Amino acid sequence: MNDGDRGSGRAARPKRADARRNEETLLDAAASIFVRSGVEAPIRDIAAEAGVGTATIYRHFPTRADLIIAVYRHQVEACAEAGPALLASSATPYAALGRWINLFVDFLATKHGLAAVLQSDNTGFETLHAYFLDRLVPVCARLLDAAAGSGEIRSDLEAYELMRGIGNLCIGAEHDPRYDARRLVALVIAGLRLP
Amino acid sequence: MNDGDRGSGRAARPKRADARRNEETLLDAAASIFVRSGVEAPIRDIAAEAGVGTATIYRHFPTRADLIIAVYRHQVEACAEAGPALLASSATPYAALGRWINLFVDFLATKHGLAAVLQSDNTGFETLHAYFLDRLVPVCARLLDAAAGSGEIRSDLEAYELMRGIGNLCIGAEHDPRYDARRLVALVIAGLRLP
DNA sequence: GAGTAAGCGGAACGTTGTCCCGTTTGACGA
DNA sequence: TCGTCAAACGGGACAACGTTCCGCTTACTC
């Protein structure tokens, strides 16, 4: 946001053109490498794909988390915005919740290794945790509250816990035909239901 | 098994005493380090704890998976053997299933990082996957079959898929007071129940 | 007690993340 | 148009780690 200049006081000179260009190139390269080799691909590979030095990546994205966030920001935003929309357009809050969780699973399951990174307690991914949580937990909480309010589900589960559980279930779902994360997630959602 | 000599033809000379001693020492050291730093602790740390060179570890346990298996074998066996016992002693197969899953979660949740490693699609952990799966999936399948047979749960979920899901849910459960794997697992088990 | 191969320790090598530093280059004022 | 300078750059340097190799040590056998 605030493309090009900062909002604070004396305009600190805007980014140089080559820097802006490099950032674009890097995002494209990272997206491409993430698809090919997962979000834990070596920094050097991404740098090579972009045709820049490794330091350039660190300059634009101090941590891997920052890069991942930048690459997937659009999709996360879309997912967050889908929450209220689904709530408005679905027959019941429970139905909305189910659909929204599916959206979330779609997102995670197609991102090679993202789910795993999202759960890792590795220091250095706090930014990533914080971003996902800040953005999506409130959305999930609203859906959960609505469904609890309408008496469809139990009300003793925190959105945070549910989202972490869903995230966990999506780990390693890409490469194992015998494991379908969606089926397990559906089980959790079913278990949420009140008799 | 077959402590000391091999069963095949000409007795290939038994292991040297110092080698056997080192293996013991290594298992103790690894167990201790696993508790302190998780199952992905640097090989060097384990070697240092045991007071041996790194090559000694590789000689006894060619891959990290082999070491992990050796360290936890007893507990896995106990878990496997608990399956039939619970089935015999519980009121219903469904109750037995629930208790057995709890045992499994207890095991995983206390082993710093084991759950994560168990799911990783990293080459080199096939042995670990194979061991856990070979040993525990059949046990789980029997419990699942029994509960399905008694009409308590749906019958369209493979034991393999359930176990992977449970394993996934246990990832990162140690260090986050806001995330209780057991609660999510209970939700899955509840979702399994037939109306 | 001597011979021998199993076993050992630690140095060496490859890979990866991260940081540093000398060089290049875009932006701006003259 | 051109000179100046800080932003930005590239790639080499360093550290941590997994893994392998090799010369030395030592437990067993006779």
> pLDDT tens digit string along A38-94?
999 999 999 999 999 999 999 999 999 999 999 999 999 999 999 999 999 999 999
For residue B69, which phi and psi values (nearest 5 degrees)?
A: -60, -45
Q: Would you put residue A100 in left (φ > 0), alpha (ψ -120 to 50) or beta?
A: alpha
CATH number of B64-192: 1.10.357.10
DSSP output for B177-193: TT--HHHHHHHHHHHHB
Residues lining strand D, beta carbon within 7 angstroms: A 13, 15-16, 18-19, 22, 51-56, 59-60; B 13, 16-18, 40-44, 54-55, 58, 63-64, 124
Tokens of B195: 């109306």
User: What is the CA A58 to chain-centroid distance, rounded?
Assistant: 21
Please report which confidence band the pLDDT of residue B11 belongs to, taking 50, 70 and 90 as the band edges: low
The residue extents of the domains of chain B are 15-61, 64-192
B contact residues 146-175, partner A, Cβ 8 Å cutoff: 157-158, 160-162, 164-165, 168-172, 175
Phi/psi at B83 (nearest 5 deg)? -55, -65
What are the two backbone dihedrals, phi and then psi, of residue A193, each rounded to the nearest 5 degrees?
Answer: -65, 140
CA distances from B81 to B13, B76, B100, B170 (A): 34, 9, 10, 21
Q: Into which CATH architecture does domain B15-61 fall?
A: Orthogonal Bundle (1.10)
Q: Within its chain, how far is the Cα of A152 from the centroid?
A: 27
* Chain C bases near protein Cβ (<7 Å): 6-12, 15-21, 25-28
Higher pLDDT, A122 or B51: B51
Backbone angles phi, psi at B193, to 5 degrees: -60, 140
- Assess A191–B contact: CB distance below 8 Å, yes or no: yes
Q: DSSP label at A153?
A: B
Least confident range from A13-27, A159-173, B90-104: namely A13-27
Q: What's the CATH fold of domain A63-192?
A: Tetracycline Repressor; domain 2 (1.10.357)
Distance B56 CA to C8 C1' (A): 7
Residue A12 has pLDDT above 70, yes or no: no
Residue nearest to nucleotide C10 (CA to C1'): B53
Distance between alpha carbon A11 and the CA centroid of its chain, in Å? Answer: 32
Q: Per-residue pLDDT averaged across B163-183, rounded?
A: 94
pLDDT band at residue A11, thresholds of 50, 70 and 90?
Answer: low
Average pLDDT, chain B: 92
Q: Is the pLDDT of residue B89 over 80?
A: yes
CATH, range A14-61: 1.10.10.60
Closest CA to A170 of B164, B133, B104: B164
Q: Measured between alpha carbons, how far is B163 from B120 in angstroms, rounded to an integer?
A: 14
Length of chain B: 195
Nearest-by-CA chain B residue for A121: B172
Task: Quickly state the pLDDT bin for A122 (edges 50, 70, 90).
Answer: confident
